[in-house]
Chains A and B, each alone.
Chain A
Amino acid sequence: MSQRAVSMPHGGWTAFIRRMAALAIVLSAAIPIYLLVKQAVTPEIESFAWPPLWLPRRITGAHLESVFTVGELRLAISRSIATALVCGVSATVMGAMMGYAMARSRWGRRTGMSAITATRLLPMIAVALPLALAFIAMGLYDRPSAIGLALVHTALALPMTALVLFPAFLAIPLELEEAALLDGASPLRIFIAIDLPLVRGALAAAFILSFILSWDEFGFAVLLQVTNRTLPPLLYYYTVFGDVGAASALALLMMIPAICVVVALRPMLRGALMAGSLR
């Protein structure tokens, strides 16, 4: 599998530098996360201390508990989960349609790819502002259910899910479909009964990626959910207005899905992250 690109001489200085580099990389991730955890479990007075305390003096569970007891936080959590679930399901369904159509026609392969690439050129702000006006007119703006935001996240995730599912459909041999066609099955039935089960893995990947995209998305969320906030705008609000303990606890909570993905899917990490970077 992986070919070693550059082989480095062993021993002496090189080994020392390599070990220091490994240490630096690990610390660059570990120290900031340690500080976040520290802020989440110490009283606010310690977080605002100057000079700051590097080690906690008193431990409190109040901030972590507030995530599950304070109404605003609980609402934001359930709103974020609901938005991400709607986005995950609808983007996967429509991405499967798109990816299948692209895989089964020569036209789709070229035009579909260009269309997907073109969606990356539109900046968030150029869509979000007029969309906010349209949502106000349609009654979808800042709804407690965040349904408007879920629609936007679906549109953001769709090119990515189509791109993930397209090669999976392309890999299915056409003979399988032709055999079913001879048996008199309708094209829709063939798609549902033969193609979909064969791309289960890609469907799961598309769902996870679009769930995470919605869970992480900040720009549209801060513009469209101004009072009925989801987690990212709520974290922004707490960070800017100085509720250090609650902000740190929320930030830790928001990292859970990402950490699950990194730990559980490490073998396919590279592919997943690459696809995620295409959003």
Chain B
Amino acid sequence: MDRASRNLRILFVAVPGAFMAAVMLVPAFGGLVLSFNRCGPSLGNYALLFADPMFWRALANNLVIPAGSLGLELALGLLLALYLTARPKPPAVVEIAAVLPFAIPEIVLLTLARYLFMPRGYVNAALVEAGFHPLGWLLPNHALALATVITVDAWHVTPVVMLILMGGLQSIAPEIYEAAALDGAGTFATFRHITLPLLFPSIVAAVVLRGVDALRIFSTTLVLTGAEGVPVLSTYAYQQWTDAQQPRVAMAASVILALAITVIGLAAASAMRRFGAAEAPR
């Protein structure tokens, strides 16, 4: 095509590209270099990191919480998507209520969750009034705190999974259901042999999209339990940065996290391609 319009296109890629590189890639690369530096090139930051039991707890939590959260939000998201697309259509207020946890700012949701689950919070109040003992929902180093974090994390993003699955459900042709009904398939058989297989690409898309996000967990644990209550890699790095004054160890931890996300993300993306789902699900 024309030279001038070609130059314009190059300019239009170069300006945002240079901006993104300056604000995201250059600092990330600088952090990578710094993580291998301790008064000269060294693996000392990583040695310190691997000797810290808190790091291993953070790493383990950083795998357990996303896995649990992903499972929970898939189950809830599927139920909600089936419910909201079924006939007769539920009132609009139900759909608004269902997307609300994702529509409000994350920090507002976490503030709410803190008031609900703190020792003298509303959940324990309801338990006591129903005649049960109050529970330590956010007790540091406790399995229950892990479960609370998973629940709150899933609460926030279930609407995203629900919307992806609703898109998938609405693209299934009604004729297929009519044919199944003619063949005498019951509700469960229809779901098992028609809905689930046809929905599978959307499920894969939701898992990949949300899985990569779930690994970046930071604010949920920071607000609910503090950096040390239920450590994950991001809050571990944050704590090394602010309280421990070890910026280079913090960067080594965030390099490990970036590495984990890249490896898992690429594996998930290739799995997604194998199942024949689109790259950017809508």
Which residues on A are within 8 Å of B, measured CB to CB?
2-10, 18, 21-22, 25-26, 28-30, 32-33, 35-36, 39, 48, 50-52, 94-95, 97-98, 100-101, 104-105, 108, 112-113, 117, 119-127, 129-134, 151-152, 154-155, 158-159, 162-163, 181, 186-188, 190-191, 215-216, 218-219, 222-223, 232, 235-236, 239-240, 244, 247-248, 251, 254-255, 258-259, 261-262, 266, 269-271, 273-274, 276-278
Contact of A51 among B7, B129, B279 (CB under 8 A): B129
Indicate if the CB atoms of A158 and B20 lie closer than 8 Å. Answer: yes
Q: Taking the complex as formed, is B274 at the interface, i.e. its CB lies under 8 A from any CB of chain A? A: no
Nearest CB on B from A220, distance (A): 10
> In the complex the two chains form, what is the Cα distance from A132 to B237 in whole Å?
13
Indicate if the CB atoms of B112 and A258 lie closer than 8 Å. Answer: no
Nearest CB on B from A261, distance (A): 7
> In the complex the two chains form, what is the Cα distance from A30 to B93 in whole Å?
11
Contact of B2 among A119, A132, A187 (CB under 8 A): A187
> In the complex the two chains form, what is the Cα distance from A223 to B239 in whole Å?
11
Indicate if the CB atoms of A6 and B94 lie closer than 8 Å. Answer: no
A22 and B94 contact, Cβ closer than 8 Å, known pairs A32-B112, A158-B19: yes
Quick one: which of B98, B111, B157, B226 has the most chain A CB within 10 A?
B111
Interface size on B, residues (CB 8 A): 107
Contact of A236 among B83, B90, B107, B172 (CB under 8 A): B107
Task: Convert B65-83 into 0s and 1s, putting 1 for each residue whose CB lies closer than 8 angstroms to a CB of A.
Answer: 0000000000000001011
Indicate if the CB atoms of B223 and A236 lie closer than 8 Å. Answer: yes
Could you list 10 A-B pairs, sorted by A, with CB under 8 Å? A5-B85, A8-B187, A94-B15, A122-B261, A123-B261, A126-B257, A218-B219, A222-B222, A223-B238, A236-B222
Nearest CB on B from A167, distance (A): 9
> In the complex the two chains form, what is the Cα distance from A222 to B82 in whole Å?
38
Indicate if the CB atoms of B5 and A273 lie closer than 8 Å. Answer: no
Q: Taking the complex as formed, is B16 at the interface, i.e. its CB lies under 8 A from any CB of chain A? A: yes
A123 and B254 contact, Cβ closer than 8 Å, known pairs A3-B172, A105-B9, A258-B103: yes
